[in-house]
Structure 1
């Protein structure tokens, strides 16, 4: 029997339909995945089901029924009463869906206060029991904590606990693990499935990750440009896709290429027993001990080599990458570049090192100046050292934009570009000076499958053409397979394993590496 039925759904933005004639159903206890790239309409569909379309979008036609009740005909008060016990939603980024000014306990108890007759003591007991169920240690004390005091994975567990407290018949999960590392992804999704199974809930899973679909969904519906193009049991659909768009999504998954032979050479950059510590949080009358983020790490990278630095959130990989660029101060150890110690250099003495190193950040939208045109952003690194004429800088920037596939877009501002185009701008800015060393910090983790594949191919081609050394920071082992020559695994601020890509991925020696590989969901083909 169907719990959710959607028939002929239309969602409009002004006069334009962004979802057209969409029909599907979710059975009792079933997990249906809506799959597609950004702009396919999958998140808008999920929000239409729960009645939370953002301003500018409207339900323009079609029927949405939960347990036979037409939701589109309900008055707002009745629909509000259904949210919670009838259907609940877990959003992509819990930090923006949890109130930063309210304690966790108050936010979790709010739904119980609105939808049940439990008194305050009973609500507190229910919250403690649910926190314990989702794996939050010391749950009674944690009720008094604020969202910023938790990691991303713990915040998503808390969000899931808040929704499942009301035992909804339908759980809508909108990209619930996109911002999480591999291990945390696996834990959160396994927990979500367990809770749904215990409570008899159905799940509508919104995602662009085909690996997650193959492991966790019963059925999949593929969306393109607001329409369903293919639907069926998840595993067979992905193993033998019929529609050209589904085949393109599957083809965009990272695949391992042949291992490269890197010519022997002295290290370009070398960290020797490098440590980084962050200041501790003290009180009025006491100084807290510093918190170690990277502990006595030694790592060398050779010219032309791509080293993938992998690990879970909090493992220290981003901190190490930034410390190797001297963007964070080291609390111990030394950093050598081209055989020269640059650990204590500053000012003009550090200029050559700064000019030879670049970084590509995870989120290009926050790392590109929104008030600058794209060509000026790419040309900016050419201002040092002085001497290049402004016209020459702009000409070189335009040539670099053409090289990354953005010819003719130099006059635009960042907001006028797609996510993949913005990341291409960030890559162009990093490479316009022909650097010797580049750190790519989760450079493709926020991108859809096909866009991610295009950006990986661009980075790989530019690296092989220009020959720069690259430290590729990521939690996506699929990307590691495609781009890395060597793999370094970090846990708790230390390197626990390193070696050639094929050796580490095919015969991991450390338990943590094996756990990362076991948690990684990849389609074979």
Structure 2
């Protein structure tokens, strides 16, 4: 056998301030042309190990031991000048959030051209030609206009394609992809990863995929490495690890995958709690120099009923109108037409205190929605300001009880930045539930969580709904999570509902072509038997 492209031996990374081990004695190798997946819970050291390869550890972390050989060259001892020469042509990285890694003040073309201008002596005309060719290769419809546009003008999926195009322009020997599809819907997710595989195959590039999505591991990876608390727990063939994991923590990851529960008997009653009829939401176009661009119809003629205690999941691609529908139903964005009814009373435009106090929202990104200047107890207590009959002592007792219910007893004096992603999401749920609402909109509440934390949050959400009986509009692109929690499923495309029905009917007997495409694109593990565990779809 030929020597591996990358060999990492006994890698150790520590925090500068305390010396705590973030990565401890990790060793693995990647063969030429191989697709390797690195999986593990949040905080397991996956991203730190990947960034160490590029010499891009964040401030506060330092590599204290280990060897990193790329084509026989030890990157651990390479000078900063040598590492700058290797980043791009030798090792490229696609980051988790392209909007953060793309400069919002520089055009797409200028950012793509930067690497070529730095590493290759070619003319500006040739640089532009190669950039346009690569944009076309990643299926950008209008490469010319994209080249002169800016990152904020594109969706998450388009930005991820642009990021992939920028990295693959230099034909790296190794591509590191850090959670490249976390916030993408299933169709866009599959398109981006299929493009990544095709480009890697064209250029002979090895791929290191960092992910918490085991369905992607089963569909794309040849081998997998499992990390936990900075240590390598298990490595081997991807299918073997998923079908017959040797270690307990690997089995825990596999068992944490969402699975369809027993079909619920909850159905919308004859008098729904919340209903919308012919609901429309429109956003005006941007003002140009001499004209205003055409507006966008984000929600167009939606009819929907949600009964007390019922969970209705809304699924669809990016830009389908899911989040806008949820916010419109809470009257956080104005409706351009149609009506919203709560307990039979029309609340579309008129102020309604009962509806406002009975409705809550769980945001997609809990860190952005939690005030960093407030302690956890103050955050959870905030909705109780509108319950004047509660004394200060009663308010404190309810907050403490709520924190205990979400598994965070004693966390009241902590700050949001001291919590993990899963803990912050629990706080966001506690804040929404503490006032005992009748209607909750949960907008992608588990999209950025690893499988173990996701399973905990979903179980918590189900338990709280059973306990308090609130109706829920569950917005998600994660079909596995939807399959676990939903009573009914609504499929949206282009601002319209194209199909809706009972969960089992939608997943087992889809009627619309778009629904079938969504289900086919989702990487779902088949648990029909240990030997047959694989990604279906």
TM-score between both structures, scaled by the size of structure 2:
0.96
* CA contact 1:373–1:411 (8 Å) conserved in 2: yes
Cross-structure match for 1:502: 504
Cross-structure match for 1:366: 368
Cross-structure match for 1:135: 139
Q: Secondary structure, in 3 states, of the residue corresponding to 2:5? A: strand
CA distance in 1, matches of 2:498, 2:97: 30
Listed as ranges, the matches of 1:110-259 within 5 Å are 110-259=114-263
Listed as ranges, the matches of 1:427-438 within 5 Å are 427-438=429-440
Cross-structure match for 2:97: 93
Q: Secondary structure, in 3 states, of the residue corresponding to 1:479? A: helix
Cross-structure match for 2:532: none
Shift of 1:287: 3.6
Cross-structure match for 2:279: 274
Q: How many residues align?
A: 522
Q: Secondary structure, in 3 states, of the residue corresponding to 1:280? A: coil
Listed as ranges, the matches of 1:47-62 within 5 Å are 47-62=51-66
Cross-structure match for 2:447: 445
Cross-structure match for 1:296: 301
CA distance in 1, matches of 2:63, 2:406: 39
CA distance in 2, matches of 1:321, 1:469: 13
Q: 2:336 pairs with 328, 331, 335, which one? A: 331
CA distance in 1, matches of 2:521, 2:250: 24
Q: Secondary structure, in 3 states, of the residue corresponding to 2:265? A: coil
CA distance in 2, matches of 1:415, 1:71: 33
Q: Secondary structure, in 3 states, of the residue corresponding to 2:302? A: strand
Q: 1:307 pairs with 301, 306, 312, which one? A: 312
Cross-structure match for 1:473: 475
Could you list the per-position Cα deviations for residues 334-363 of structure 1 after superposition, in whole angstroms to 9, with x for gaps in the alignment? 0011001011212xxx11110111111111
CA distance in 1, matches of 2:383, 2:61: 40
Could you list the per-position Cα deviations for residues 13-53 of structure 1 after superposition, in whole angstroms to 9, with x for gaps in the alignment? 12222111111110010011111111111100100111111
Q: Secondary structure, in 3 states, of the residue corresponding to 1:85? A: coil
Cross-structure match for 2:45: 41
Matched, 1:17 2:47: no
Cross-structure match for 2:9: 7
Q: Secondary structure, in 3 states, of the residue corresponding to 1:257? A: coil
Shift of 1:169: 0.6
Cross-structure match for 1:356: 358
Cross-structure match for 2:67: 63
CA distance in 1, matches of 2:210, 2:63: 19
Shift of 1:290: 2.4
CA distance in 1, matches of 2:292, 2:153: 19
Cross-structure match for 1:388: 390
CA distance in 1, matches of 2:508, 2:480: 13
Deviating 4+ runs (over 4 angstroms): none
Q: Secondary structure, in 3 states, of the residue corresponding to 1:196? A: helix
Structure 1 range deviating more: 482-491 or 132-141 = 132-141
Shift of 1:385: 4.1
Could you list the per-position Cα deviations for residues 260-305 of structure 1 after superposition, in whole angstroms to 9, with x for gaps in the alignment? 1126441110000000011211224434432110001000111111
Q: Secondary structure, in 3 states, of the residue corresponding to 1:161? A: helix
Q: Secondary structure, in 3 states, of the residue corresponding to 2:524? A: coil
Could you list the per-position Cα deviations for residues 165-216 of structure 1 after superposition, in whole angstroms to 9, with x for gaps in the alignment? 1110111111111121111110000000000000000011111111111101
Cross-structure match for 2:533: none
* CA contact 1:335–1:343 (8 Å) conserved in 2: yes
Cross-structure match for 1:79: 83
Cross-structure match for 1:411: 413
Shift in alpha-carbon separation, 1:262–1:100, aligned structure 2, 3 A = same
Q: Secondary structure, in 3 states, of the residue corresponding to 1:388? A: coil
CA distance in 2, matches of 1:186, 1:428: 34
CA distance in 2, matches of 1:404, 1:104: 43
Q: Secondary structure, in 3 states, of the residue corresponding to 1:439? A: strand
* CA contact 1:265–1:303 (8 Å) conserved in 2: no
In structure 2, list runs of 5 or more residues that go unmatched: 528-537
Shift in alpha-carbon separation, 1:109–1:288, aligned structure 2, 3 A = closer
CA distance in 2, matches of 1:239, 1:510: 33
Shift of 1:388: 2.1
Q: Secondary structure, in 3 states, of the residue corresponding to 1:96? A: helix
CA distance in 2, matches of 1:297, 1:374: 37
* CA contact 1:315–1:493 (8 Å) conserved in 2: yes
Q: 1:31 pairs with 28, 35, 39, which one? A: 35
- Alignment RMSD (CA, Å): 1.0
Shift of 1:437: 0.7
